[in-house]
Amino acid sequence: MRPAGRRDAGTLGLAVTDLASLVRISEEVRDALEREVAVVALETTLIAHGFPAPDGVEVGLEAEAAVRAAGAVPATVGVLDGHVRLGLGADELARFGVDARKAGPRDLAACAVQGAVGATTVGGTLSVAGLVGIHFLGTGGIGGVHRGYAARPDVSPDLPALARTPILVAASGAKSLLDIQATVELLETLGIPVLGYRTDTLPRFYSAEGGPELAHRVESAAEAARIAAAHWRLCGAGLVLANPPPESLDVADLIEEGLAEADARGVSGQAVTPFVLAFLHERSAGRTLEVNRKLVLANARLAAEVAVAFAAL
């Protein structure tokens, strides 16, 4: 096979970008998609960079178990051995360590062609899941608008990915270190509904209270599924189902400190989140880690419940 991307007159590179050779779907996920049963996509950035090793891999496996317990099939997404993959085995999950590249939508192709391990963010996972018609994703928190965006427009590609992909994402709001109000504004601009799951305000990741008011509240997974179905029928794309963390922790001051420390050390761009999360985990003596783990599992379970309710519509 010629190197991907090289083209000659006749083919314009089409042969080497054949979808089936680029995207590999596990047998379990393929079977679930064919039978139209509930499938929930899970990301790998939080496995590789959201938790210190080996916790990340454990959380990934527990999230898969939570999806199964709710009656859905997990499709963990990542880039491995030259392929964009949906559905990973335990040995494969274990390869998403700290050396994995963080893979947003812009990074998928380069990771695949270069044979790198690509840990997909919410945005990267949405891009891949959308390709095969998966409609649900569970994660910790989505990316959004970073603080200080007026000086440097650091806005997560998770938002434009949500704006173009018809997938409901269950999350405990946005990442804790963001400008939450600006993130809510941009979600509205992009036409992305945020449904509070039994809450009137957007959860602030580690803490359930104190976030901005939401326009919409739902009381059940079935209600969320019906709104998602109607949204897609009306040609809408992504939605966020905002699920308060099962256990609430106020770490606003520590986040300020972590961001200042990142700035002082010249950490920027994609490296900021992993840096600040590690800082929080360390300075809270592991308490942020515990809450983070619990909310990831709760969101995986909720995404699965909505997927199951949607399949029954």
- Which residues are at the interface with ligand PSU (CB under 6 A)? 43, 45-46, 49-50, 104, 121-123, 140-141, 143, 156-158, 175, 270, 273, 277
Q: For ligand PSU, which is the closer residue by CB, 32 or 118? A: 118
Q: How far is the CB of 263 from Mn ion (least distance, A)?
A: 14
Which residues ranging from 151 to 180 are in contact with Mn ion (CB under 5 A)?
A: 154
Q: Residue 50 binds which one of ligand PSU, Mn ion, none, with CB within 5 to 8 A depending on kind?
A: ligand PSU
Q: For ligand PSU, which is the closer residue by CB, 243 or 273? A: 273
Q: How far is the CB of 150 from Mn ion (least distance, A)?
A: 15
CA 88 – CA 28 distance, rounded (Å): 10
The reply to whether 175 belongs to the active site is yes
The reply to whether 43 belongs to the active site is yes
Any contact of residue 107 with Mn ion (CB under 5 A)? no
Q: Residue 258 binds which one of ligand PSU, Mn ion, none, with CB within 5 to 8 A depending on kind?
A: none
Q: Residue 122 binds which one of Mn ion, ligand PSU, none, with CB within 5 to 8 A depending on kind?
A: ligand PSU
Q: For ligand PSU, which is the closer residue by CB, 49 or 101? A: 49
Total residues contacting Mn ion by CB under 5 A comes to 1
- Residues sharing a CB contact under 8 Å with residue 206, sequence separation 6 or more, in sequence order: 176, 245, 248, 249, 250, 251, 288, 291, 292
Q: How far is the CB of 67 from ligand PSU (least distance, A)?
A: 17
DSSP string for residues in the chain: -PPTT---TTTTTTGGG-HHHHEEE-HHHHHHHHHT--EEEE-SHIIIIIS-TTHHHHHHHHHHHHHHHTT-EEEEEEEETTEEEES--HHHHTT--TTSEEE-GGGHHHHHHHT--EEE-HHHHHHHHHHTT--EEE-S-B--BBTTTTTS--B-THHHHHHHS--EEEESSB-TTB-HHHHHHHHHHTT--EEEES-SB--BTTBSSSPPB-SEEESSHHHHHHHHHHHHHTT---EEEE---SS----HHHHHHHHHHHHHTT--GGGHHHHHHHHHHHHTTTHHHHHHHHHHHHHHHHHHHHHHHHHT-
In the block, residue with structure tokens 């379970």: 301
Q: For ligand PSU, which is the closer residue by CB, 157 or 196? A: 157
Q: For Mn ion, which is the closer residue by CB, 15 or 182? A: 182
Q: How far is the CB of 195 from ligand PSU (least distance, A)?
A: 19
| Catalytic one of 64, 102, 175, 305 | 175
Q: How far is the CB of 159 from ligand PSU (least distance, A)?
A: 9
Q: Residue 166 binds which one of Mn ion, ligand PSU, none, with CB within 5 to 8 A depending on kind?
A: none
Q: Residue 45 binds which one of ligand PSU, Mn ion, none, with CB within 5 to 8 A depending on kind?
A: ligand PSU
| Catalytic one of 43, 64, 102, 305 | 43
Q: Which residues are catalytic?
A: 43, 175
